[in-house]
Amino acid sequence: DKGEQGRTGKMGPAGDQGDAGDAGVDGPSGLKGKAGATCDCGRYRKVVGQMDINVRKLKNAVKFVKNVILGIKETEEKFYLIVKEARKYREALINCKLRGGMLAMPKTTDTNTLIADYVTQAGLTQVFIGLQAGQKGGGPVYADLTPVRNYTAWGLEEPSGAPSNTSCVKMVSTGIWNQVECDITMYYVCEFKKSRRGLAAVL
C-alpha cells in the first residue's frame, strides 16, 4: 500500500529573474484642464521698450550735463572742470581741494592736449594748473608734490628760476606752460578721480 505523504522539504534557492513582460495597454486620457489666462504680452513689451527708451534718455541727459552745462571733460580715470572764478594760485589750489579734487596736473601728452583743447573750447587763453616751478634750487613739482619728470611742455627759456613769487604755472590754450606771478588771478582747472559718487564730487 502507498504510505503517508512525507513532510514538506526546505525551500530551494530563488531562480534567475525572468524576462520583462509586454507593456500594458494605455490607460484612458485624463480630463481636460481649464484654459489659462490670456497673456497681455503686448503691454509688457511696451513697458520694457519704454524702460529702454528712458535709460537711453537718462544716459543722454547725463552726457549733456557733463559736457554742456558743467563743461566737464573726462578720461578713463578722471574728470576735469574749468572753474570760471578768477582766483590767485593758492586760492585755486584750496578751492579744488574743497571740491574733492586738485588743481589739474598734466603729467602726460594726452592729458595736456585734453586740457589745452578744453581751454580753447571754453574761449579762454590761459588757466592755472597744478604745477610750480622749482624754488630754492629744487626742480618743478606738481600740486601733489611729485616731481616733474618724463613729460613737460615748458615755453622757451622756462622754467627760469625766477623769484618764488613767479613760481606758479599757467597753461595757455596752445598747451604751453609758462611761469606766472602767484598773486595774479585767473580761471583754473580742477581734476577729480572718478568714484561712485560720480558728479556729486565735482559740484
Query: How many domains would you assign to the chain?
Result: 2
- For 30-53, the pLDDT digits (tens) are 888 787 777 667 777 777 777 888
- For 155-178, the pLDDT digits (tens) are 988 877 655 677 899 999 999 999
Instruction: Please indicate, yes or no, whether residues 108 and 194 belong to a single structural domain of this protein.
Output: yes
Would residue 25 count as lying in a domain? no
Would residue 28 count as lying in a domain? no
Query: For residue 101, what is its C-alpha cell?
Result: 579734487
Instruction: Please indicate, yes or no, whether residues 133 and 178 belong to a single structural domain of this protein.
Output: yes
pTM: 0.63
Least Cα distance to 118 among 154, 156, 145, 78 occurs for 78
Would residue 116 count as lying in a domain? yes
Contacts of 152 (CB under 8 A, 6+ apart): 140, 177
Give whole-number Cα distances, 53 to 7, 61, 64, in Å.
93, 12, 16
Whether omega for the bond prior to residue 159 falls within 30 degrees of 0, making it cis, is: yes
Instruction: Please indicate, yes or no, whether residues 62 and 122 belong to a single structural domain of this protein.
Output: no
Distance separating alpha carbons of residues 77 and 37, to the nearest angstrom: 52
E strand or H helix at 98, and its extent? helix 89-98
pLDDT for residue 64: 47
Instruction: Please indicate, yes or no, whether residues 114 and 157 belong to a single structural domain of this protein.
Output: yes
User: Three-state DSSP class for 91?
Assistant: helix
User: Which domain CATH number covers 113?
Assistant: 3.10.100.10
Would residue 9 count as lying in a domain? no
Would residue 54 count as lying in a domain? yes
The torsion angles phi and psi of 52, rounded to 5 degrees, stand at: -60, -40
Least Cα distance to 127 among 191, 189, 192, 202 occurs for 189
Instruction: Please indicate, yes or no, whether residues 62 and 121 belong to a single structural domain of this protein.
Output: no
Domain residue limits at 98? 77-201
- For 107-164, the pLDDT digits (tens) are 999 999 999 999 999 999 999 999 998 766 678 999 999 999 889 999 988 877 655 6
Of 29, 57, 74, at which residue does a domain stop?
A: 74
Would residue 29 count as lying in a domain? no
Instruction: Please indicate, yes or no, whether residues 63 and 104 belong to a single structural domain of this protein.
Output: no
Beta strands in 24-125 (DSSP E): 73-74, 78-87, 102-103
Q: Which residues pair with 177 in a beta bridge?
A: 154, 171
